[in-house]
A and B are shown apart, each in its own frame.
Chain A
Amino acid sequence: MTKEEIKEKVIEILGDINPDIDYSAETSLIDGGLLDSFDIVSLVGELNDAFDISITVVDLVPENFNSADAMAELVGRLAG
């Protein structure tokens, strides 16, 4: 999967969590309080299933979840 394909899939998953956010442009999903801890848990479960990866507690830092780009990068790193 290319980075762009990963990002597209990530945005699709995020859309299920809260469709009112423009995920392609937003860069402070965590710092801005747009995703709460319930959302994060659900998001991590979906990402693990969709990409067959295992996101751990160590990966749960705002820098990895503030934007769709950052999430795509994390997924790419864990899948690679």
Chain B
Amino acid sequence: MSLISLTFAIFFAAVLLLYYLLPRVTQPYLLLAASLVFYLWSGPKYIVYIAVSASVTYAAALLAGRTSSRFAAVSAELKSSLPPEEYKKKAAAAARKGRLIIGLALAVDLAILVVIKYLDFILGNILPLFGGAAARFAGLRLVMPLGLSYFTFGAVGYLIDVSRGKYPAERNFAKFALYMTYFPHIIQGPIPRFDKLAPQFSVPHAFDIDRILDGFRLILWGCFKILMLSASLAPAVSAMADSHASMGGLEIWLRMTAWGLQLYADFSGGIDIVTGVSECFGIGLEENFRRPYFATDLTDYWNRWHISLSGWLKDYVFYPMALSKRFARFSKYLKKKHGKFIAKTVPVGLLSILLFTLVGLWHGANWGEILFGVFNGVIIMTSTLLEPLFQKIRKPLKMDSLLIWRIFRSLRTFIVITLTRVISRAPGIPAAMSFYRKMFTSPGIGGFISEFSEGGRFAGFDILSYLPVFIGAAALFAVSLTEEITPSHSVRKLLSERPVLRVALEVLCVAVIVVFGTYGLGYDASGFIYAGN
């Protein structure tokens, strides 16, 4: 069920109506029923994966929690009756049992993800080495169930949190199943955190017209981004796959910039819609974007782009590894041999490369995405190593306080991220190498100008067809700039103090979408770029 469709509008309206008409105690159960209907709509047989993942995760967390609470109940008695060594052994055995249960559940959750999303890629790279029939194996070609990566990461985070004692295991299966399947976040995130989301399901939500209207405003803004920008840019971006051989460097730069804009409009627009939908139920979702194209460097960019993914990787991969004893020993060894600076930067830098390889793998099981991740990690590691040198240059010139330097840094970050995306967006690694060569050595300006002067066409398209893009980009830039200047106030909050202007802008927004937006027959709004991950 596409978010921008009549079916979804009817489904959402019906759920919203029942949510506030039925007794408040039924609200979480209604949301669970709605989430299951939404999930079944995407393909009834795929529900088995999320059902297995939710059941195993729920049971394992509960079982591990019981093991530790059973031991805690007798721990004082054991401590006084047993010799210290014997007591330590019992405590260690109880902890081991808990870890084993959690470990097995993690294995099941990750196995579902790996088999469905990555097995074909792994086999496709290994089997050809054996030759013969093995090399001809075409792969399992399993269809990805809706929100596979999102619900797996949600389950893994929950299991690790419970095993760390961050919060107790949820006893109510319906509430846990709702955390896993909640329909606003299942399509393209944000990746849920149990301690932030689940408590909101347990609170009754009264009908609040202001909050609901605010939710609808966010939905409208999300539709604007998608229908004005993402959908309008799609033809220019997808042409890269078919006609890349004839493209000059400048055209590749433009199409890659269009891709950056399309990706952001599509993903953040989708997140705005689901956040708005969730707000109508009184349930807040995690922030997933903070004006990423205003980032001052690549690290800053990843702190602003798909925040729920980078936050998840930090909490469950980066910090556990960085704070491990082995890592501390490696840092100490480097400190002794090469000094404090190397000890501080190299191990964490290497960890960053690993982390960004995982970011690449998240985006897709292919070498282009993996190299995209590695590329980002290597740039971040290199810039961290060179930071003291950069500081020596910047400080005497007092560059950090200059507006022009701030603007330059954002532009530079956009160019760097655009360059890293070439490797994942180009149709294959050899094409990506050809893209890089052309982008820096043969701009092909002549062909570009003659195409424009002969027929008013631009990169194969009528210049007027880009009008929605210019309107959409201008609006998006104005909103982002306002929020960047006053980060504590969203544009929604600023406009709440000017109700007349707000109504005028809302009407204008709808009118602009109706007149210039890309929708209707022939447009497939269901194809969110990030969906199905």
Question: Which residues from chain A sit less than 8 Å from chain B, CB to CB?
Answer: 16, 33, 36-38, 40-42, 44-45, 48, 55-58, 60
- Contact between chains at B323 and A44 (CB < 8 Å): yes
Known A37-B314, A45-B328; judge A56-B323 contact (CB<8 A). Answer: yes
Give chain A nearest CB distance to B523 CB in angstroms.
Answer: 39
Q: A33 to chain B: which residues have CB within 8 Å?
A: 303
Q: Is B284 an interface residue (CB 8 A)?
A: no
How many angstroms from the CA of A36 to the CA of B314 in the assembled complex? 11
Q: List 19 A-B contacts (CB under 8 A).
A: A16-B340, A36-B299, A36-B303, A37-B314, A37-B348, A38-B344, A38-B345, A38-B348, A38-B384, A40-B319, A41-B322, A41-B323, A42-B344, A56-B323, A57-B319, A57-B320, A57-B323, A58-B166, A60-B315
Which one of A37, A42, A48 contacts B318 once the chains associate, using CB atoms below 8 Å? A37
B348 proximity list for chain A (CB < 8 A): 37-38, 41-42
* Contact residues of B: prevailing secondary structure: helix
Taking the closest CB of chain B, its distance from the CB of A71, in whole angstroms, is 15
Q: Is B331 an interface position by the 8 A CB rule?
A: yes
Least CB separation from B320: chain A residue: A57
B143 to chain A, nearest CB (A): 36
Chief secondary structure at chain A's binding surface? helix
CB-CB under 8 A from B338, the residues of chain A are none
Is there a chain A Cβ closer than 8 Å to B165's Cβ? yes
Query: Which residues of chain B have C-beta atoms less than 8 A from A40's C-beta?
Result: 319
Q: A36-B303, A38-B344 are in contact. List 12 more A-B contacts (CB 8 A).
A: A33-B303, A36-B299, A37-B318, A37-B322, A37-B348, A44-B322, A45-B328, A48-B328, A56-B323, A57-B164, A57-B315, A58-B165
B-side residues, CB < 8 A to A, are 164-166, 299, 303, 314-315, 318-320, 322-323, 328, 331, 340, 344-345, 348, 384
Complex A-B, nearest 7 residue pairs according to Cβ-Cβ distance, in ascending order = A41-B322, A42-B344, A38-B348, A57-B319, A58-B164, A57-B320, A41-B348
Q: Chain B nearest CB: distance from A21 CB in Å?
A: 14
- Per the bound structure, the CA–CA distance linking A69 and B340 in Å amounts to 25
In Å, the complex CA distance between A58 and B164 comes to: 7
Q: How far is the CB of B310 from chain A (nearest CB, A)?
A: 9
Please, which residue of chain B has its CB at the minimum distance from the CB of A60?
A: B319
Minimum CB–CB distance from B302 to chain A (whole Å) comes to 10
Q: What residues of chain A lie closer than 8 Å to B314, measured between beta carbons?
A: 37
Q: Please indicate the chain B residues that have their CB under 8 angstroms from the CB of A48 in the complex.
A: 328
CA distance A3 to B288 in the complex (A): 38
Contacts of A41 in B (CB 8 A): 319, 322-323, 348
A39 closest partner in B (C-beta): B344
Distance to closest chain B CB from A48 (angstroms): 7
CA distance A56 to B340 in the complex (A): 22
Contact in complex: A55, B323 (CB < 8 Å): yes
Q: How far is the CA of A38 from the CA of B383 in the complex (A)?
A: 12
User: In this complex, what residue of A is CB-closest to B347?
Assistant: A41
User: How far apart are the CA atoms of A2 and B493 in the complex, in Å?
Assistant: 46
Closest residue of chain A to B335, judged by CB? A45
Q: What is the bound-complex CA distance between A48 and B340, given in angstroms?
A: 15
Note all chain B residues with C-beta closer than 8 A to A42. Answer: 344, 348
Cα-based distance from A57 to B325 in the complex (angstroms): 12
Give A58 to B303 CA distance when docked, in angstroms. Answer: 21
Query: In whole Å, how far is A16's beta carbon from the nearest beta carbon of chain B?
Result: 8
CA distance A56 to B348 in the complex (A): 17
> From A48, which residue of chain B is reached at the shortest CB distance?
B328
What residues of B have a CB within 8 angstroms of the CB of A44 in the complex? 322-323
Q: Which residues of A contact B340 (CB under 8 A)?
A: 16
Contacts of B323 in A (CB 8 A): 41, 44, 55-57, 60
Chain B residues contacting A58 (CB-CB under 8 Å) are: 164-166
- How far, in whole Å, are A48 and B332 apart by their CA atoms in the complex? 12
**Assembled-state Cα–Cα distance A57/B320 (Å):** 6
